[in-house]
Chain A
Amino acid sequence: MPRALRIYVWLVSAAGLIAVAAAARWGNLEGLSRASHAVLADLAFFLVMGCLLDMMIVPMARGGAVSAGFAVFYACMLILGPYLAAFVAVLATLWTDVVIRRGIPFYKTLFNVGHSAISLLLAGATYYVLLDGQIANVRFTSVTDVARILGSAAVLFGSEITVVNLAVALERKAPLRSVWLGNAKLVMPLDAALAGVGMLVALLYEHRQTLFGGYGSLFVACVILLPTGLLFYGSRLYMDMYRVYDKTLRTLSALMEAKVHGGEGEAVGHGDRVARLASAAAEEMGLSTDEVQAIQYAGYLHDVGKVGVPAQALDNGRTLTDEQLSRLKQHAEIGYEILRPIAFLSRVATLVRYHDRRFDEGPYSADHEAIPFGSRLLAVAERYDNLTVSGPVQLGPEEAMRRLVEEAGSLLDPKGVHAFVRMLARESVVDAVRCDEALHAI
């Protein structure tokens, strides 16, 4: 584990534990010791619901996961206050991590406990202190009411997303911004829905007598499992599909490589490596999530057109005739033709089309289309993979980095090389000092 991540995880865990200790000390736990049956029943309700919903976990496309438990924790925060909510969240998290999911490293559980507690206390501070709310009194009658509810939900889920994504970013050594934005597009609607479920739980729970009579809490419990179950199921399908798609592209690209190169030698895995390197460099530059994803897919598929190039032209050992060379040059264009019919991959098709262009051939293609920057990044990543793994001679990373820097401005885009080299340093592939020296040369 990187050091920064380790420090961060311990920090969050410690803060969470302190928060829980504070909750035990100053929270309205005395209310409990007075054995008020009502509070105990409330607590039992939220605890059971929290444990049930916390088991529903939706893994996110760019790392991390969202748990449906937050809907219940949020409702509990509205009905019983932040301290008891944090208490419920801690117990529910322990339950899922230790009893249900098992085998989760202890520090991860501590981290999960910590960030849930912190987020809930922050949301509670917003609701009760900042905006002057009252316990168990959820209303939507005035503007302040609405602001209080929406504001505290925003704080809860906002802090939750940020704390978790920071850990993901540190773990993957990727910039926080790109991880955050990449996940937020999918997480925000999900969180909004969970916040909605949370408000619903609170409202139904408050009015359970009027609505359901005697066994009110039981009905509310059944009622809530439904929408969250549906939510969970839909999201799971969706996120899984992204994973499946990614795997399919990799399988097909491996298949193409096998067909073209006979499944042997260093060419195998080239698509995978270029995809990873180019998209990491794109994240380093803070490109938009969609662009990063397009670059990743284009990395898998950039050599797809080689299925249309006769085998002799691809054989590195021999010198190529002019005709063979021109066929090889066409592979980018053929790849573009193959991918063009897939509307979803239209951006990817363009990136593939120009991944083979030299930087000094100018910023426009023959038909006056601007060469996208993503293609330039792919070219750098491909060059690096050729130098280090799949070419005739294998260089070490630092030697390869120096070559990239030399070729910046002629073969490669200096901006792309710059980002790529910074990415190498961030991932500790090359030494940071060497990286700085190299960058000065551009």
Chain B
Amino acid sequence: MRNLPPPLRAYLIAVPVIGGALLAWLSFGLAHYPELKVVEGIIFFFALTLVAAQSPVELPRGGIMSVAFAVDYACIVIYGPAVASWVAVLSALVLLRKSPWYKILFNAGQLVLTVGLAGLVYEWSGGRFVALSQDPLSLRHSAPAIILSGLAYTLVNSFAVATAVALQEGRQLFGTWRVGFGWMGPRYLALAPFGVLMAMVYQVPDLRYIGVALFLLPLFWARYAFKGYVDMREVHQQTVDALANALEAYDAYTEDHSDYVSALAEALARRLSFPETRMEALLFAARLHDIGKFVMESVLNKQAKLTEEDWALIRQHPAEGQRIVAAIEVQPGAASIVRATHERPDGTGYPDGLRGDQIDVAASIIAVADAFHAMTSDRAYRPAMPEHAAVAELSRGSGTQFDAEVVRCLIELWQEGQLPHARRTKDATST
């Protein structure tokens, strides 16, 4: 907690405080419903949530997804916001018991806000608690309430989480939220009707327990499959990183090169307010921007003067890189970025000779980061250039060889001392 940035700390404290207040207020409100079997509801749904929330899935860019949402939602429709909030708090305390205390508190608070507000929206927009009414839940009557509260749930939940992630990692709030919501939104909206159905099934005395249990089966599998998917994605990323590193590590000059280029590209992209939704593709492309070169090893390490054919081959390396990255296919969009990393605003770049606005900003960012690191690290034929000389060289090429806007950002970062630190590059080990 101590080493967290102050705005994040304030946020992590504010959320549980507001959540606690809301929980207290909702609990007092229970006095209006003396016939509601509060304890029975809490116990049943608490047990259900514990089962449903087993090992939630961590999403790639922050946040978690769990099928517990469907259970939360059923609880809102059956017992209303107060009971649902209590269930949410209890489950957060139990499920996150191994996390640091501030995380537990934040998540409990965040869940109360989410569930409580969604429940209030449900109540205020005319939804009835199933546990209190004699007639079966009428979809025609409750549809607006159901839809509105589902929306409220998704919005509050995704904003609460995105704010924490954005504060922690210094990203834009809206972009972070959009990435997270892009992931969560459709799943939550798909899960919401489950919650309603569970509530409906719960009303039929014959079906109450078995019916609700049967709903959990497909939910479990969905969770299992999503978890498998997310894990495999992670493994995939690690594998590509490790193998790309290996290719580099044993290459004469480029050791650590792509590590630095992706760090610098990320810094530049943040400064340029590059859309958060494309950040993963940019970073992936930055990691692999040189991969097309490895195939042309023999030409690039040639001592003699390069022939015309050699040059033609070299000018194809970004296209080769595009082909390889497309074959790896984990980040749609990364391949075309790689292709454009050697284009120049004045149209003399390769392989397509694009000019100005035709070049993807992502590719321009990588081109500048690439050139900067190439100049500031040792090469066999010349020692490293000092940073100020490299910056001067970049501004000379600004607008012709390099994108002017990106160069401006790099100069700003340099003046503020915000450039990422390079690991000391070792001497070339090749024999």
* Chain A residues at the B interface, C-beta cutoff of 8 Å: 140, 189-190, 192-197, 199-200, 203-204, 207, 210-213, 219, 223, 226-231, 234-235, 237-238, 241-242, 244-245, 247-249, 251-252, 255-256, 258-259, 262-263, 304, 307-308, 310, 338-339, 341-345
* Chain B residues at the A interface, C-beta cutoff of 8 Å: 136, 139, 187, 190-191, 193-194, 197, 200-201, 203-204, 206-207, 210-211, 214-226, 228-229, 232-233, 235-236, 238-240, 242-247, 249-250, 291, 294-295, 297-298, 324, 327-330, 430-431
Q: Which residue of A lies closest to B186 (CB)?
A: A233
- Contacts of B214 on A, CB cut-off 8 Å? 196, 199-200, 203
> How long is the Cα–Cα vector from A171 to B298 in the complex, in angstroms?
43
- Contacts of B200 on A, CB cut-off 8 Å? 211-212
Q: Are B190 and A226 in contact (CB under 8 A)?
A: yes
Q: Are A263 and B295 in contact (CB under 8 A)?
A: yes
Q: Say how far A62's CB is from chain B's closest CB, in angstroms.
A: 15
> How long is the Cα–Cα vector from A63 to B208 in the complex, in angstroms?
39
- Contacts of A345 on B, CB cut-off 8 Å? 235, 239
> How long is the Cα–Cα vector from A241 to B201 in the complex, in angstroms?
35
Q: Are A241 and B211 in contact (CB under 8 A)?
A: no
- Contacts of B193 on A, CB cut-off 8 Å? 223, 226
- Contacts of B197 on A, CB cut-off 8 Å? 223
> How long is the Cα–Cα vector from A251 to B246 in the complex, in angstroms?
15
Q: Are B430 and A238 in contact (CB under 8 A)?
A: no
What is the interface of chain A mostly: helix, strand, loop, or mixed? helix
- Contacts of A194 on B, CB cut-off 8 Å? 218
Q: Are A230 and B190 in contact (CB under 8 A)?
A: yes
Give 10 closest A-B pairs by Cβ, nearest first: A196-B217, A193-B221, A234-B225, A241-B232, A227-B218, A344-B235, A338-B246, A251-B327, A238-B225, A237-B229
User: What are 7 A-B pairs at a CB distance below 8 A?
Assistant: A192-B217, A210-B136, A212-B139, A230-B191, A244-B330, A245-B232, A247-B327
Given contacts A197-B217, A310-B430, contact A241 B229 (CB under 8 A): yes
- Contacts of A248 on B, CB cut-off 8 Å? 236, 239-240, 327-330
Given contacts A207-B204, A252-B240, A341-B238, contact A231 B218 (CB under 8 A): yes
Q: Say how far B323's CB is from chain A's closest CB, in angstroms.
A: 9
Q: Are A242 and B232 in contact (CB under 8 A)?
A: yes
> How long is the Cα–Cα vector from A193 to B222 in the complex, in angstroms?
9
> How long is the Cα–Cα vector from A234 to B218 in the complex, in angstroms?
11
Query: Which residue in B207, B215, B217, B294 is a CB contact (below 8 Å) of A207?
Result: B207
Given contacts A241-B228, A304-B246, contact A310 B431 (CB under 8 A): yes
- Contacts of B430 on A, CB cut-off 8 Å? 310
- Contacts of A200 on B, CB cut-off 8 Å? 211, 214-215, 218
Q: Which residue of B lies closest to A297 (CB)?
A: B239
Given contacts A258-B294, A308-B250, contact A244 B236 (CB under 8 A): yes
Q: Are B243 and A262 in contact (CB under 8 A)?
A: no
- Contacts of B136 on A, CB cut-off 8 Å? 210-211, 213
- Contacts of B242 on A, CB cut-off 8 Å? 338-339, 341-342
Q: Say how far B225's CB is from chain A's closest CB, in angstroms.
A: 3
Q: Say how far B12's CB is from chain A's closest CB, in angstroms.
A: 30
Q: Are B204 and A245 in contact (CB under 8 A)?
A: no
> How long is the Cα–Cα vector from A223 to B196 in the complex, in angstroms?
10
Q: Which residue of A lies closest to B197 (CB)?
A: A223
> How long is the Cα–Cα vector from A304 to B229 in the complex, in angstroms?
26
- Contacts of B215 on A, CB cut-off 8 Å? 200, 227
Query: Which residue in B218, B220, B297 is a CB contact (below 8 Å) of A259?
Result: B297
> How long is the Cα–Cα vector from A244 to B221 in the complex, in angstroms?
21
Q: Say how far A392's CB is from chain B's closest CB, in angstroms.
A: 21
Q: Say how far B10's CB is from chain A's closest CB, in angstroms.
A: 36
Q: Which residue of A lies closest to B238 (CB)?
A: A342
Q: Are B229 and A227 in contact (CB under 8 A)?
A: no
> How long is the Cα–Cα vector from A349 to B225 in the complex, in angstroms?
26
Q: Which residue of B lies closest to A219 (CB)?
A: B139
- Contacts of A203 on B, CB cut-off 8 Å? 201, 207, 210-211, 214
Given contacts A200-B214, A244-B236, A245-B236, contact A234 B222 (CB under 8 A): yes
